[in-house]
Amino acid sequence: MTRRPFLALTFFLILIWGCEEVVELDLPFEEQLVVESDIAPGRRVTTTVAFASSILSTTPVTYVEDAAVFLKRVDDDEPYHQMTFMPSVSAANGQQARHSYYVLDEDLLAIEEGNTYELRVNAPGFDQIITTTRIPAKTTLDDLSFVSFTKSSDERRENIYNIKANIRFQHTDLDNFYHLMFFFTYPVTAWEINGQTMTVDTTQVPKVEDLEIAAGYVQDFQNGVLLDGADLDTGLVNLPIHLSVYYDADEEHPVNPALGIELRNTSEAYFKYRLAISQQQQQQDSIVNQPIIIPSNIGNGSGSFGGYIFDEGVIPLGN
Amino acid sequence: MIWGKLRIFIYAFNDNIMRRTTICFFLFFLFCLTLSAQPILDKPLDVRFDGIVLTEALDVLAKQNGVDFIYSPEIIPEKTVQIAEADMSLRELLDLMFYGTDVGYKIIAGQVVLFKKAEAVQKFTISGYVEDGSSGELLVGANVVVRRQPIGTSANAYGFFSLELPAGTHELVFSYSGYKTFFKKIDLRQNRSVKIKMDASLTLKEVVVTASELKTLEGNHNITHISSGDLNNMTSIGGERDLYRHLSMLPGVTTGADGIGGIHVRGGSIDQNLFLLDDVTIYNPVHMIGVFSIFNEDAIKSVDFMKGGFPAKYGGRLSSVTDIRTKDGNLYDWQTSIGLGLSTLRVMAEGPLVKGKSAVLFSARTTPLRWLVRPISRNYKAANNKEGETILSFYDINAKWHYRFSDKDKIYFSFYKGGDRYGDVNEVYYQTMSEEGQLNNRDRSDDDIRWGNQAGAFRWNHDFGDKLFMNTSLSYSRYGFTAQSTGVHVDTLLSTNSIFSLAQQQQFRSEIEDVNVKTDLEWHWSPSSQINFGGMSSLYYFTPGVSSQTGIVSFDSDVLELDRRFFDTIDNETVKAKDYALYLSHDLKWRRFQLTTGLRWSGMKTANRFYHAFLPRVNLAYRPFSFLQINGNYTLSQQYLHLLTTSGAGLPTDVWIPSTDDLAPERATQYNLGVDVQLGEHWAFGAEAYYKKMDNLIAYSENASFNFINSENYKSNVATGEGTAKGIELEWQYRSDKWQAALHYTLAKADRTFATINNGNAYPYRYDRRHDLKLLGTYTINDHWNVSASFLYGSGLAISLPVGRYNYNQPGSFQQPVEVLIYDARNSFRLPANHRLDISFLWKKTMKNTVQSINFGIYNVYSRKNALYYRLGRNPDNPSEPAFLQATLMPILPFVDYKIGF
């Protein structure tokens, strides 16, 4: 589906074959903060604060560790609640590396449908950042149905499986924004204790092959799907999906894989931010398209403070 | 005063006899005096009148040349007189001054007595066609003026002219670029129809009519007439004297480096240019993304280019109209020409089917690159262990047939087909290991992109009497783009010899078609008044974009036949639209003024709405002196078709869409104010200021929620906004027998404002050039040689560049972080200035039966690396380091082109 930019690109490349050279440009860049935070009922609120780098910089991303980050509900007189700093963790000692971030104690503030929340970030040397987002109304998954889970026709290929399923939900408002996410999970045999097999689930994000929908959709940069409610007719949306996964089936210990589906009804800021990043990723090699400028509701900086609410379901794949 | 006293004296005699006797005596006395008057009338005078009224002119004659006039002021009409010629006899002068009036003159007693003629002056119409004397080709825009009078007209787009003149003898002067000026005396006692045959100038130089006597009031500064002779005189690229290049050298017209990106007129978008080829709309007028236009110079007869003040007969686009007329074909002799250059190979043949009545013309053009690129690319790929080739080609075919039933009825059928093709085939063989053993692999990719225009028109010209002319046409136009990509993978497991093969094909198509019927009528009411009216209707079929794919898998064969019929089964929803237009305009010349007023009504029907508008056009020209003209105009335009473009550069992938219920037509209001000054015989200066406001412009929303356009989703993913363009254009011209030179400078600013783009802030238009300077010169060395040079300088185009970056990385996510680029405001940076010098030499020799020419020169003489774009990439010397890369297209480029006609 990303064919058109490619066509234009290839055509241009023949014209300018070998005619590119490095130019020195002095581009003005003011240091700025990047704040990323998504909030949803039932999910832990985390916020990342980092410095943006100049475009030609080769230094790695730096995260802000001495900021003060606060969250409050706007709809009542709730005070600001400060979020706790979580330092970065290196990949050593068997742990997965992660950058530093700020987290809100779940007991301090409930994130609820229909409410508006305000995020405040004070970082030394930068103007205070205050931004808000609203948690939209929930859209529930009406029906999830399994169609097929089949191995790729090419048996000598790597273990690629195709998943086909149907999703149905009621689309009631043209102003809705949807983010569909998929998770393929299956238990992996780990060990036996006292004759009992203990398993752990492994999860991967399937690749979206196709959505049979007349309206346009965008596959987001993390293999989800972004759907603009304005492109859909209101009423029941029937969405046949076609995904593919890498699945190394253990025939000696058959397990039941499952497809997890999460339907997020998002705020506009959340949707447009992800949409823009997805589009920027998709056309990053194009030399003819206008650039995708990432919208941001973070004043004096970049990033996004986005609210969403989700419904989820699971489709067992086969027996 | 003297005449008044004389009248009192006569009336003092009341007695009839006495009065008769006295009158007879007096008349005899006057007769005797008249006999001695002839030397007075033949007396040479040295006078110059610069647009003064007749009474003032008479005073000047009396004071400066001692001529005594007797007249009653009431009989002198309010007419201005412009005479720049010295050494004229009094008789010639009086004939000129009172031309077309009912004032006569006599010499009585050494004095010039002016009197009112007994009968009103009768007027008759002279009409007809101006054509090339050797081929019968009708000459579009040929000037027809009465010698030494500011009375004249020009032949219309079909070579027809009509002029109403007082009864009597007139000397008409016919002039046309590249032709010898033709003088014809006509004794007009009744309406007459004539056919004027003009001979081409034998020399290379353009015949320039500079005598002020031939000047009539120029109606509109914004219309540039380009003849085939003008095109021949321009510098070329690769030997190709391309219309697009010519237009891009005009003030107010900008383009990207080396023509890439199409032409942008006074801050307008590329889709706001209307290109008409023999009355048919051409949707994509360029080959190779703007390097060449689709218009074959061999087939072009004339071009009218308008960048404002559009006559009411034109509509449907906001920024410019380019009305191109192709040659009709030689009515008397068969002629053939062949041309070969580095960029094009051309053939043309034209000749009579019925001598003097019917002729055909056929021309074709392609690029020799098609034979060069293939072997070069094969070698290049072979050096990189690949098989395959690259295909790059374009072609044009023009054909025209016409039949002249009589001088009053002519029919024409014209046809154009042209296209571009870019293909790239790659095939690579390699071995891999799998769990089952060694695999022999073959991968083949085949990209094939084709696009092009087709156009056909049937026209009927009819001359109703001498004053009313009609052109009716039925035309068809189509622009289509198809991109097809095929990928094939075949592998063979050596241990079992089993085969696995997979083929996949993707296709993207977009298309626009229209069928148009229109009628234009010209009513040449009088020399000072002309009415144009007509109407048109178009039916459009849009296929905004269809992307589809199919595939096939086989486990026993490496021969895969994709069912191409699959693509025909795709449900390509076609969007239909109709538009209509009616217009009426009046062209009035009065004294030193020319006022053109017009009203165009146009409308388009969408699913649930009918958009329509009345679009007034006003143009006023005022010439206070013969050497000075002031011109102002107002134009309101509406455009029902939109081009969805990601680049703004006129790529073939751009998609035409109609207005819809939610997508209103684009609209522009333009004001122009200009001045033209003729400085002596050779120099001319022009200046014009313009302001253009554009509404309902469309662009992709900055966050359009789709990856490809189709007939379903485009409506909700485009943003509407507005734009402004303003500027001052200056123009100096020098013309003499040997030299033609021009300097064009434009100071301009163009911007766009969309609520959903750039945070709603105004940003510079991509093709906004603040300063644009163009210098052109041609020197005719002798009858065989001329040399041309052109230099252009344009400040940098507006671009967007990333200034920063960060990683999107959700805590706890097991996905890889994503690098996000931070852009400053839209189009906030500028490419470096674009400049270039081109030189070309033209040698031409006419022999008994052949005409040969060689055009050679150098494009980009000092090899300026003009930036096509900047992009963020990697430093080739240090791939871990990000860097900006500049692309340039054409360095110094020698060229040669040979043409022979016989």
Nearest to B300 by CA among B219, B239, B365: B365
Nearest to A313 by CA among A118, A112, A166: A166
Residue B6 pLDDT: 37
CB distance B648 to B798 below 8 Å: no
CA distance B468 to B882: 69
Convert the pLDDT of each residue in B472-494 to its tens digit: 999 999 999 888 888 888 888 88
Residue B211 pLDDT: 35
Angstroms from B470 CA to nearest CA on chain A: 44
From A32, which residue of chain B is nearest by alpha-carbon distance? B804
Beta bridge partners of B485: B447, B506
CA distance B633 to B617: 7
In degrees rounded to 5, what are phi and psi of residue A229? -60, -25
A-to-B residue pairs, Cβ atoms closer than 8 angstroms: 240
> For A144-167, what is the mean pLDDT?
81
Angstroms from A76 CA to nearest CA on chain B: 29
In degrees rounded to 5, what are phi and psi of residue B175? -140, 150
pLDDT for B711 beyond 90: no
Q: Which residues fall within 8 angstroms of residue A295, CB to CB, at 6 or more apart?
A: A269, A272, A273, A276, B702, B703, B759
Residues A294/A300/A301/A302 CA torsion (nearest 10 deg):
-20
Chain-centroid distance of CA B79 in Å reads 36
**Residue B703 with chain A: CB contacts under 8 Å:** 272, 275-276, 279, 292, 295
Percent of chain B's residues with pLDDT above 90: 32
∠ CA(B419), CA(B423), CA(B427), 5° rounding? 165
pLDDT for B225 beyond 50: yes
Angstroms from B398 CA to nearest CA on chain A: 26
**Residue B767 with chain A: CB contacts under 8 Å:** none
Whether B809 and chain A come into contact, CB under 8 Å, resolves to: yes
Whether A187 and chain B come into contact, CB under 8 Å, resolves to: no
Residue A5 pLDDT: 42
**Residue A217 with chain B: CB contacts under 8 Å:** 705-706
CB distance A63 to B817 below 8 Å: no
Between helices B16-35 and B2-11, what is the axis angle to 10°? Answer: 150
More confident residue, B566 or A87: A87
Whole-prediction pTM: 0.80
Question: HSE of B216 in the Cβ direction (CA atoms, 13 Å)?
Answer: 22
CA distance B101 to B107: 18
Q: Nearest by CB to A22, which of B805, B818, B885?
A: B885
Chain-centroid distance of CA B167 in Å reads 38
Tokens of A171: 């689309």
Residue B210 pLDDT: 36
CA distance B720 to B710: 18
Instruction: Please classify residue A216 by burial: count the beta carbons closer than 10 Å to its beta carbon, then call 0-12 exposed, 13-18 middle and 19+ buried.
Output: buried
pLDDT for A144 beyond 70: yes
Residue A273 — pLDDT band, cuts 50, 70, 90?
very high
Q: Nearest by CB to B703, which of A52, A53, A295?
A: A295
What HEC string does chain A produce?
CCHHHHHHHHHHHHHCCCCEEEECCCCCCCCCEEEEEEECCCCCCEEEEEECEECCCCCCCEECCCCEEEEEECCCCCCCEECEEECCECCCCCCCCECCEEECCCCCCCCCCCCEEEEEEECCCCCCEEEEEECCCCCCEEEEEEEEEEECCCCCCCCEEEEEEEEEEEECCCCCEEEEEEEEEEEEEEEEECCEEEEEEEEECCEEEEECCCCCCEECCCCCEEEEHHHCCCEEEEEEEEEEEECCCCCCCCCCCEEEEEEEEECHHHHHHHHHHHHHHHCCCCCCCCCCCCCCCCCCEEEEEEEEEEEEEEEECCC
Residue B58 pLDDT: 83
Convert the pLDDT of each residue in B824-871 to its tens digit: 888 889 999 999 999 989 898 888 888 899 989 898 899 898 888 888
Whether A130 and chain B come into contact, CB under 8 Å, resolves to: no
Whether B448 and chain A come into contact, CB under 8 Å, resolves to: no
Residue B85 pLDDT: 64
- Asked which of B16-25, B56-65, B85-94, B728-737 is least confident by mean pLDDT, the reply is B16-25
Question: Is beta strand A301-316 parallel, antiparallel or unpaired with respect to A33-39?
Answer: parallel
Whether A16 and chain B come into contact, CB under 8 Å, resolves to: yes
Convert the pLDDT of each residue in B351-368 to its tens digit: 999 998 999 999 999 998
CB distance B128 to B120 below 8 Å: no
Beta bridge partners of B463: B469
Whether B868 and chain A come into contact, CB under 8 Å, resolves to: yes
Angstroms from B449 CA to nearest CA on chain A: 8
Helix (H, G, I), strand (E, B) or coil at B3: helix
CA distance A141 to A111: 21
Beta bridge partners of B452: B419, B480
Q: Which residues fall within 8 angstroms of residue B572, CB to CB, at 6 or more apart?
A: B509, B543, B546, B711
∠ CA(B646), CA(B651), CA(B655), 5° rounding? 65
Angstroms from A318 CA to nearest CA on chain B: 25
pLDDT for B80 beyond 90: no
From B422, which residue of chain A is nearest by alpha-carbon distance? A11
Nearest to B876 by CA among A144, A20, A315, A224: A20
Nearest to B286 by CA among B265, B305, B271: B271
CA distance B244 to B651: 16
Q: Nearest by CB to B703, which of A2, A21, A275?
A: A275
Maximum average pLDDT range among A76-80, B597-601, B660-664, B896-900: B597-601
Beta bridge partners of B253: B265
Residues B506/B512/B515/B516 CA torsion (nearest 10 deg):
-170
Inspect the interface and report whether the beta carbons of B653 and A7 lie closer than 8 Å: yes
Output the CA–CA distances (angstroms, integers) from residue B507 to A13, B419, B504, B567, B574, in the order listed.
20, 18, 10, 8, 17
Q: Which helix (H) or strand (E) holds B61?
A: helix B54-65
**Residue B882 with chain A: CB contacts under 8 Å:** 55-56, 58
CA distance B369 to B749: 38
Q: Which residues fall within 8 angstroms of residue B634, CB to CB, at 6 or more apart?
A: B616, B617, B618, B619, B669, B670, B671
Nearest to B240 by CA among B416, B366, B399: B366
pLDDT for B32 beyond 50: no
Inspect the interface and report whether the beta carbons of B808 and A10 lie closer than 8 Å: no
CA distance A88 to A108: 23
Question: HSE of A55 in the Cβ direction (CA atoms, 13 Å)?
Answer: 20
Tokens of A149: 């889970």
Mutate which: B500, B707, B711, B877, vs A, most A CBs within 10 A:
B707
pLDDT for B170 beyond 90: no
Question: HSE of B246 in the Cβ direction (CA atoms, 13 Å)?
Answer: 23
Convert the pLDDT of each residue in A227-250 to its tens digit: 989 888 899 999 999 998 888 777
The owner of tokens 């589009």 is A279
Question: DSSP string spanning B217-259?
Answer: ----TTEEEEEHHHHHTS--BTTB--HHHHHHTSTTEE--GGG
The owner of tokens 């004001």 is B671
pLDDT for B204 beyond 60: no
Convert the pLDDT of each residue in A39-74 to its tens digit: 999 999 999 999 999 999 888 888 999 999 999 999
Tokens of B114: 């002016």
Whether A268 and chain B come into contact, CB under 8 Å, resolves to: no
Whether B484 and chain A come into contact, CB under 8 Å, resolves to: no
